Amino acid sequence: MTATATRPGRSDDDALPDGAALPVADPATTRRAALRLIRLDGRAFALMLTLNALAAGAALAGPWLLGRIVDTVRTGGGVRTVDRLALVILVCGLAQLLLARYARYVGHRFGERTVARVREQYVDRALALPAAVVERAGTGDLTARGTTDVTAVARTLRDAVPEVCVAAAQALFLLAAVVVLDPLLGACGLGLLCGPVAVRWYLRRARTAYLAEGAATSALAELLAATAAGARTVEALGLAERRTAASEQAIERCRRTRTRTLFLRSVLLPAVDISYVLPVAGVLLVGGAMQGRGGISLGVVVSAALYLRQLSAPLETILLWVEQLQSSGAAFARVEGLSRAPRATGAAPAALLPRPSPEPSPVPASPADDRIDVTAVHYAYGATDGSRSPAARRDVLHGVDLTVRPGERLALVGPSGAGKSTLGRLLAGIDAPRLGAVTVGGVPVAALDPAALRRQIVLVTQEHHVFLGTLRDNLQIAAPDAGDATLSAALAAVGADWAAELPAGLDTELGAGGHRPDGSQSQQLALARVVLADPHTVILDEATALLDPRTARHTERALAAVLKGRTVIAIAHRLHTAHDADRVAVMEEGRLTELGTHDALVAANGAYAALWRSWHS
């Protein structure tokens, strides 16, 4: 498990308050991102528009020619003329069918290529997020954006965009044709269209409603995931009723937000139905009156009525897709909002949709050596994230000073809540101090490029993750070029004897459908990654806590041999780790109160001596 660094110097606009959800892109940013997507496949988009326009133009011939047939029959024209006009209608209908079909084909290919870019962009940005940002935002929001929201965007790009483009072209051409036939009839038809009024009402409310629905879905996903992951803890502490009540509240919030969007659709859709009937009825009434006075031919009235009747199909497509467009627009704003979240120092910008950067990022300096210095460090959760809450700005570390010499084994001990893990996160560059500095070789740890940071310092915690894939894949995350011999040696170094007994060895699939590592095996796998990463400093934050005492002791002895010559900072409650360390640092209430060798601290009869006696008893 490797640590990632936060990026200093972010503005308040990009800051992520403690416990807040990930940012959501504003409408202007969302529009710019959509335009960039179009420009990246501009030829396909232009071809789609051209084909749609040609299909819409071919569709205009039918009603006009039918009007000519009516006038020809009224004036006593011959059968041959009617047959020729009917044949032209057939040819134009066939051309419209072929053009529209090919336009949809081009549109679907455009949509699939574009959504592939969106997915790749999202993965790039998600991987560039600092670990602290992900922890504060919660994995539920990140997961919902990467699954539900990206799927909504994909469905829109694949289905809605081609359909709406075809329908919009047809609607514009049909309205223009009515106006060209007779301006008065055209004005009558346009004046009775009530669909745009309903759409305007809907659009003013839809974005906010769908963003609220997406946020409620993310919160519910986060709550359910946390409850499922901590099911044993919930059961052990008797928290079932409390978690059930919280889940019901989250479900109720989802119900309210979805009821709101349902109400908006229930207003929009009836207006769509009415908009089909009124223009046709109005044109027939006005046209009939004008034709009775000899001001217009019957064929023109028939053609205008048919054009407006045909208008119902594209209008229905557009207005029905408006709901999907608003939903996916809100989803795209959430997906694109990841661009406004803080990124790890030096994270490479996405290749497909580059994030604008007015100033080049300075190249971080390289550490002069492996010495780690903690100087007058103060830290408060939320204080570096733009939080204005006084409680969030309360320091949990107070003026900590510490020097870790290269090759030293330092044990960091103290009661729960003393600040040991917080200090470990600062040493690993996951968080940056509010005041003071944490440096390696004279360079701030949090300012290091992630790749350089992983070569310097690696943090291993109680938390671990087994990725879907083979055992080899899981190990090569830390060392992509490592061979089988190196991987096996790393497993042996951490006492993972079980790996040799797997049916397919390093090619054994892990996870669902394969071998399911238990907690201790997963933690040994994380420790093997540390061996492969080969950093000069390793921070072990209760790294063997999930192992039984005998296995933990065996693993620690194996690691001691592997980590010989490296700097090791061990955060542990098992004080035998402190007994074996070169020096022991004691944390109490966010302060470093004692520092020295095990024997010296026991002889001093202070806080460490009390911990030692308590642990032995």
Interval 514-566: pLDDT, tens = 888 887 788 788 888 888 888 888 888 776 666 666 666 666 666 666 677 78
The most confident of 132-146, 416-430, 442-456, by mean pLDDT: 416-430
Three-state SS across 72-135?
A: HHHCCCCHHHHHHHHHHHHHHHHHHHHHHHHHHHHHHHHHHHHHHHHHHHHHHHHHHCCHHHHH
Measured CA to CA, the distance from residue 234 to residue 348 in angstroms comes to: 40
pLDDT digits (tens, 9 = 90+) for 345-368: 544 333 333 344 434 444 455 777
pLDDT digits (tens, 9 = 90+) for 293-351: 766 777 777 777 777 777 777 777 777 676 677 777 788 888 888 887 766 554 433 33
Query: Any idea what the Cα angle at residue 262 is, between residues 32 and 246, rounded to 5°?
Result: 90
Instruction: Examine the pLDDT at 10 and tell me if it is beyond 70.
Output: no
Measured CA to CA, the distance from residue 82 to residue 84 in angstroms comes to: 6
| pTM as predicted | 0.58
Measured CA to CA, the distance from residue 480 to residue 533 in angstroms comes to: 10
Pairing of β 397-404 and β 583-588: unpaired
Place of tokens 């609220």: 212
pLDDT of residue 390: 45
- Report residue 278 as tokens: 């009124």
315: nearest Cα among 283, 343, 278: 278
- Report residue 50 as tokens: 């051209």
Query: Any idea what the Cα angle at residue 152 is, between residues 138 and 42, rounded to 5°?
Result: 115
The half-sphere exposure of 326 on its side-chain side, counting CA atoms within 13 A, is 25
